[in-house]
Amino acid sequence: MQSILNHPLVVDLPEHKDTIHALKLGNAHLRHLLDQYHAVDEEIVRIETEVEPASDERTEQLKRRRLVLKDDLLAIILKAEAAARSAGVPA
């Protein structure tokens, strides 16, 4: 069961769901970043649900890391969509 505190990328970026799926199949770098994103997100959930103790500083550090990862992932996604559009392929 998924916590409402989770921030899965396909939920946060539903308009890019198809691109995310396609890139997961063929882009090892994106898969690696997604794995990191999900690991950080799960750690934040464990902290916020008090399953795992952490300082406020650690929690904020993790949230900043999740945001950086999300920005990096979005940049890859947008670049792939732009390339597909310029090649005449629907994203």
- For residue 51, give both structure tokens: 């399953």
DSSP state of 51: S
Q: Dihedral through CA 73, CA 78, CA 80, CA 84, nearest 10? A: 160
Q: What is the pLDDT of residue 4?
A: 52
Residues 6 or more apart in contact with residue 44 via CB below 8 angstroms: 5, 59, 62, 63, 66
pLDDT band at 3 (very low <50, low <70, confident <90, very high): very low
Q: Please report, for residues 44, 50, 62, the alpha-carbon distance to residue 68 in angstroms, rounded to integers and kept in the order given.
A: 14, 24, 10
- Across the chain, mean pLDDT equals 91
Q: What is the pLDDT of residue 28?
A: 96
Cα 45 to Cα 39: distance, rounded to the nearest angstrom: 10
pLDDT band at 7 (very low <50, low <70, confident <90, very high): confident
Cα 58 to Cα 46: distance, rounded to the nearest angstrom: 12
Full-model pTM: 0.85
Query: What is the C-alpha end-to-end distance of the chain, expressed in Å?
Result: 30
In the predicted structure, residue 6 carries a pLDDT above the cut 90:
no
